[in-house]
Structure 1
Amino acid sequence: MAELESPTVMPRLIGFLSSLLQRVAEANDLNRGFHPQKISVFHGLTRPTISIQTYLERIFKYANCSPSCYIVAYVYLDRFTQRQPALPINSFNVHRLLITSVMVSAKFMDDMYYNNAYYAKVGGISTTEMNFLEVDFLFGLGFHLNVTPTTFHTYCSYLQREMMLQPQLNNIAAEPSSLYSAGRSSKLLHFCFNEDESSHQQQQQQLAV
């Protein structure tokens, strides 16, 4: 799905992912009274003042990772929330989950990538906190980092389709999904793949560090 990896399409993809995560976070904020949610290292004491879109745009501007990393980061967020149903994405944890998922994706996908200290500066957190977030994210994923070509292209197809439908989606009230909120069927995104899929050749792109 080279279309989504094109630099000219990336701003639209960033905007769409931001909009989707915003709807999910707001829905799960409202859902907190009905479904107990655990507090984790990803939770801030207050909601960050920076919007999800501005935050993701900042990551996109400074991380310099390959376009594929954002697709894979989204796969990781999906897997994380499926494996950790008591930790749905909400306004208190979405920013830390985003910076961590992109960093882990860059380390897995790209030949060259920035270190944790750099991502901590991009994310507005300390290096120590970034290190803790990475470890917790990896354990939350069960260290399941491999993304097969089939999985990658399925996510790309979904995102392309939903980006085309975005005007219609913006007029639909967001509903908590099973991906981000326990016990609900997804109307935003919910992919379940075979954990035994064969390994794929990593998509790589050299970056100037």
Structure 2
Amino acid sequence: MAELESSNVMPKLISFLSSLLHRVAESNDLNPSFQTQKISVFHGLTRPTISIQTYLDRIFKYANCSPCCYVVAYVYLDRFTQRQPTLPINSFNVHRLLITSVMIAAKFMDDIYYNNAYYAKVGGINTNEMNILEVDFLFGLGFNLNVKPNTFYAYCSYLQREMIMMQPQVDMAESSLCTARSSNLHLCFNEDESSHQQQQQQLAV
């Protein structure tokens, strides 16, 4: 975890994922078939005023989940959109899909994680809605939550390559997203319980 903090990899990853999701959402907004897309529980009545970058920064600040969770959340979003072609990511659903995918990834990856009520507060929604989003996302995934080590590192490699292409000056070592071996995949970068309690107090302020 210290290596990630010193190299500032996570802020770069968060920024890149935000930019990627923003481009995808905008592209789908402009798609002529947008009007025929299925409306789901993830859709808001209007586009949220908070940007994807700011929203993901907030999740990163308060969720306090392991960095691996953001890669796994990206895997889940990819799986979800592949299994649900009538529910592409757009400006009306991207925020709810993000908070739900990160929460589920944290539950699957981390030994210590926050409950749905906490994630609802982070995401600016109520607990009942968070519960519904979780169930719908799980069914949308077909409950396919397991991410094999080779799949995990394939997505890491893809994200790393894309980040380097966007910032050619970044050193390869500095761009490393995953330092744990595959045998320790579910243990990499876990936060301790005191850090979680600290984050809860900050959010309550």
Q: TM-score, normalised by structure 1?
A: 0.80
Are residues 1:137 and 2:137 paired? yes
Give the aligned CA root-mean-square deviation in angstroms: 2.1
3-state SS, counterpart of residue 89 of structure 1 = coil
Residue 72 of structure 2 contacts residue 152 of structure 2 at CA under 8 Å; is this kept in 1? yes
* Deviation digits for residues 7-34 of structure 1 (CA, Å, limit 9, x no counterpart): 3200000000000000000000001446
Change in 2 beyond 3 A, CA 1:34/1:14? closer
Q: 1:34-53, aligned counterparts within 5 Å?
A: 36-53=36-53
Residue 113 of structure 1 contacts residue 207 of structure 1 at CA under 8 Å; is this kept in 2? no
2: CA distance between counterparts of 1:145 and 1:97? Answer: 15
2: CA distance between counterparts of 1:115 and 1:34? Answer: 34
3-state SS, counterpart of residue 114 of structure 1 = coil
3-state SS, counterpart of residue 6 of structure 1 = helix
Aligned residue for 1:127?
A: 127
Are residues 1:207 and 2:163 paired? no
3-state SS, counterpart of residue 165 of structure 1 = helix
Q: 1:80-91, aligned counterparts within 5 Å?
A: 80-91=80-91
Change in 2 beyond 3 A, CA 1:121/1:34? closer
Aligned residue for 1:112?
A: 112
Equivalences, count: 177
Q: 1:106-185, aligned counterparts within 5 Å?
A: 106-166=106-166
3-state SS, counterpart of residue 202 of structure 1 = helix
Q: TM-score, normalised by structure 2?
A: 0.81
Change in 2 beyond 3 A, CA 1:85/1:121? same
2: CA distance between counterparts of 1:58 and 1:83? Answer: 28
- The structure with the largest helix share of the pair is 2
2: CA distance between counterparts of 1:80 and 1:152? Answer: 16
Aligned residue for 1:14?
A: 14
Task: Give every structure 1 segment of 4 or more consecutive aligned residues whose post-TM-superposition deviation is greater than 4 Å.
Answer: none
- Segments of 5+ residues of structure 1 without an aligned counterpart are 169-198
Change in 2 beyond 3 A, CA 1:200/1:86? farther
Task: Give the letter aligned to residue 21 of structure 1.
Answer: L
Q: Aligned residues: percent identity?
A: 76
